[in-house]
Amino acid sequence: MRPVRTAARALLASIFVVDGIRTLARPEARAETARPLTDRVTPLLERTDPRLPTDPLTLVRVKAVADVVAGLALATGRFTRPAAAVLAAGLIPHTATDKGDRDHLLKNLGLLGGLLLAAVDTEGRPGLRYRTTHAVDRSQRSVRRAVRTARREAKIAAASAAAARKLPG
């Protein structure tokens, strides 16, 4: 299954890497397309931190760099789950600003589905929730076992002490 995962991640990431590089080469066209969204987000960014960039050209470049870095991470198998989450988060505003036809919307929704699958894929290993739940269960069983053993040992010690008191001497 590993070769299939590797190939699927590389194929999924390729569109983001290529699109990010194209956007970095010519960000002006994408900035004009993204302007309606960036105009709505600008007040929120200014309230959050006045030092954050608010011009559409810079925001488009930041998203393009994030797409390239996260796409390369996903394609190479490094930090795959966070990389897929970053790409999925960046795809949502991209889809909202895309004035294309229904085919573009469906393509983006398909990519989003693939990214969501990649974001939750644990490669057959148990996830963090499973591991923590089972670690808690194991520790609770160990504690119960230790309590039973301690009670048994205390009964044996009490019986031994009572028997020792009855002995002459």
Its pTM stands at: 0.69
Q: Taking 80 as the threshold, does the pLDDT of residue 101 lie above it? A: no
Pick the last residue of a domain from 120, 141, 159: 120
Residues 60 and 115 in one domain: yes
- In this prediction, residue 1 carries a pLDDT of 54
What is the domain count for the chain? Answer: 2
- What value does the mean pLDDT take over residues 61-66? 94
Q: If 0-12 CB within 10 Å is exposed, 13-18 middle and 19+ buried, where does residue 154 land?
A: exposed
For residue range 2-31, list pLDDT tens digits in order.
888 889 999 999 999 999 999 999 999 888
Residues 87 and 148 in one domain: no
Closest CA to 1 of 9, 17, 70: 9
Residues 79 and 55 in one domain: yes
Inter-CA distances, 155 with 37, 44, 149, 159, 168, Å: 74, 68, 10, 6, 22
- What value does the mean pLDDT take over residues 64-85? 94
- In this prediction, residue 64 carries a pLDDT of 95
Domain of 131 in residue numbering reads as: 127-169
* Lowest-confidence pick of 19-28, 77-86, 96-105: 96-105
Residues 94 and 151 in one domain: no
Per-position DSSP letters for 74-129, written without gaps between them: HHHTSSHHHHHHHHHHHHHHHHHH----HHHHHHHHHHHHHHHHHHH--TTSPPHH
- In this prediction, residue 26 carries a pLDDT of 93
For residue range 105-116, list pLDDT tens digits in order.
888 889 999 998
Both tokens of 125, joined, read: 């290993």
Distance CA 129, CA 135 (A): 10
Count of beta carbons in the 10 Å neighbourhood of residue 73: 20
Residues 62 and 34 in one domain: yes
**Positive or negative torsion for Cα 82, 83, 84, 87:** positive
- Which residue's structure tokens are 């198998």? 77
Contact 66, 54 (CB under 8 A): no
Grade residue 169 by pLDDT with cuts at 50, 70 and 90.
Answer: low
Q: Taking 60 as the threshold, does the pLDDT of residue 162 lie above it? A: yes
> Which of 40-44, 53-57, 58-62 is most confident?
58-62
Contact 63, 53 (CB under 8 A): no
